[in-house]
Amino acid sequence: MTVLPGEAAATVDGPPPADPLVLAAAWLPVDGSAPGPTMTLSTIGLDGYPSARTVLLSRFDGRRLHFHTDTRSRKAAELAAVPRASVTIVWPEAARQLVVTGDVAPVTDREARLAYAARTRYLQVLAWVNDADLAGATAVLRRERWTAFGEERGDGPLEPPTTWGGYALTPLRLLFWQGATDGPSNRLAYERAADGGWRREAWPG
């Protein structure tokens, strides 16, 4: 198992914290200056079946996990219908996995704008041009539209499009998995209790 620098104590093998958000903060980026790792976002589809896709973790604010998308997207419609989701984040190089399940709510306009500003130029442009019309166009037309947007806007800063939207997931359950090469893997499960505290269980890896 490879442990990232400075993270030797941030495992599930030591004394577990009473608050899982403490452990989550040791695993997740918290400053929000740049998007974090990719994660699988699972929602409840409008047809009742699970619906999953990969998105960027925009930031972890110590309490909630933020992500952003086009407000016209399928996931936005699904979250409007059932505002619950799970996210799965995997760090293969550290033999870690974190699964977080909870309630989802829109973020403030300021939070959404800050997240957009932290995106790369490529992702900022993508938020403007990657709509349903572009998806159905030929490869040539797709590149032409991309080039035309760049020529029209130049290299100046971009404001987020009106279709840019953000969400934050408030955890109700967290599952931390830690792998190993010299022993069994380990899982630590937390679930929020009715009084706001956390119940904790160690599960087989």
Predicted confidence at residue 15, as pLDDT, reads: 81
pLDDT at residue 11, as a whole number: 63
The pLDDT, as a whole number, for residue 127 is 94
Q: Are 1 and 179 in contact (CB under 8 A)?
A: yes
DSSP 44: E
pLDDT digits (tens, 9 = 90+) for 92-123: 999 999 999 999 999 999 999 999 999 999 99
Confidence at residue 130, expressed as pLDDT on a 0 to 100 scale: 86
Q: Which residues pair with 68 in a beta bridge?
A: 166
- Where residue 12 falls among pLDDT bands split at 50, 70, 90? low
Residue 106: per-residue pLDDT: 97
Burial (CB count <10 Å: 0-12, 13-18, 19+), residue 155 = exposed
- What is the C-alpha to C-alpha distance for residues 99 and 130, in angstroms, rounded to an integer? 29
Give whole-number Cα distances, 109 to 72, 106, 112, 164, 166, in Å.
17, 9, 5, 10, 8
Which SS3 state, helix, strand or coil, does residue 142 take?
helix
**pLDDT recorded at residue 201:** 94
pLDDT digits (tens, 9 = 90+) for 127-169: 999 888 888 889 999 899 999 998 998 888 999 999 999 999 9
Stretch 75-82: mean pLDDT, rounded? 97
Q: Grade residue 32 by pLDDT with cuts at 50, 70 and 90.
A: low
**What is the percent of the chain with per-residue pLDDT over 90, rounded to a whole number?**
74
Confidence of residue 183 (pLDDT cuts 50, 70, 90): confident
Confidence of residue 197 (pLDDT cuts 50, 70, 90): very high
pLDDT band at 31 (very low <50, low <70, confident <90, very high): low
**pLDDT computed for residue 10 by the predictor:** 56
Q: Is the pLDDT of residue 89 over 80?
A: yes
